[in-house]
Amino acid sequence: MLIAVMAENMPDKEMACGLADRVLLERTPDWLDEEQLGFERKWQGIEPGTDFTPWTSLSRLAKKENVRILGHKREEVGGFDYPSARKAIVLCLLAKHAEPIRAILFIRDMDRQYQARRQSLIEARAHTDPTRLRVVLALPNRMREAWLLNGFIPKTPNEFHLHQIEREKLGFDPCESAELLTGRRASDYKGPKLVLASLTGGCAKRQEACWKDVPLVELADRGTQTGLKEFLQEVESILVPLLTQIEN
């Protein structure tokens, strides 16, 4: 099962694909283990030989394939990320791979416009024939760091202390209510980036553990308002049946 991945950067791609793999392993038959999974699905970019396709590459790829999508104002139907998503979908259908691309995973921070930008991608999916290409949405509210905060559970006395400091400073638990963090810049004390860095000491491995080690049911429970629960449900409802269907 070849799945194209649209992401802003490699950390976004690794987190979303890693979470999706965890769902696939938990929700498919017992014969599918981590080693076998590598043979059953492949994450890659729209272009052969790439790990993922950056959103910033879409214009170049669309121009190369002469793909043109009518744009709209952001406040109109088909605005925001709709044109970009449609370009990516058409490019997947035109892609020259040994096997057809079966699905595409869109990973996109929603920033300050969660509902409007999310709706634009839902509309792009609604205009796609699911028998030709399935579309899965990973849309963090507001950004990827909110999902990592959903998975941060203190493990050491120091982490418990840091967690308590952040709770007192913010007036709420940033891990259970990450959607309330409103800052955008790394220096904003109410920004997910700064809070996550404060809790983890900026350690990449500790942040990775937030999505790797915490039970999926707990991530879903904490991520109801950040889009994480919705993403995990989409993987289960779209990719799990697709993988099972291809295997059969």
Walk along the chain (248 residues) in steps of 10 and give the mean pLDDT of each run.
97 98 90 88 95 96 88 59 95 92 97 91 96 97 96 98 97 97 76 95 97 98 98 97 80
* CATH code at position 108: 3.40.50
Do 205 and 150 share a structural domain? yes
Is this model's pTM higher than 0.75 or not? Answer: yes
Do 58 and 85 share a structural domain? yes
The confidence score (pLDDT) of residue 78 equals 59
Do 43 and 30 share a structural domain? yes
Do 119 and 153 share a structural domain? no
Residue 68 has φ and ψ, to the nearest 5°, of -125, 130
Do 187 and 65 share a structural domain? no
The confidence score (pLDDT) of residue 244 equals 85
Do 244 and 205 share a structural domain? no
Instruction: Please tell me the number of Cα atoms within 13 Å of 93 on its side-chain side.
Output: 14
Give the whole-angstrom CA distance, residue 172 versus residue 89: 40
Q: Find the domain containing 211 and state its range.
A: 145-223
Do 68 and 174 share a structural domain? no
Do 124 and 151 share a structural domain? no
Do 163 and 113 share a structural domain? no
Please, are residues 108 and 13 in contact by the beta-carbon 8 Å criterion?
A: no
The confidence score (pLDDT) of residue 186 equals 62
Do 194 and 107 share a structural domain? no
Do 92 and 8 share a structural domain? yes
Do 61 and 13 share a structural domain? yes
The confidence score (pLDDT) of residue 156 equals 97
Q: Which residues of 185-194 are buried (b: 16+ CB within 10 A; e: fewer)?
A: eeeeeebbbb
Q: Per the structure, how many domains does the chain have?
A: 2
The confidence score (pLDDT) of residue 248 equals 62
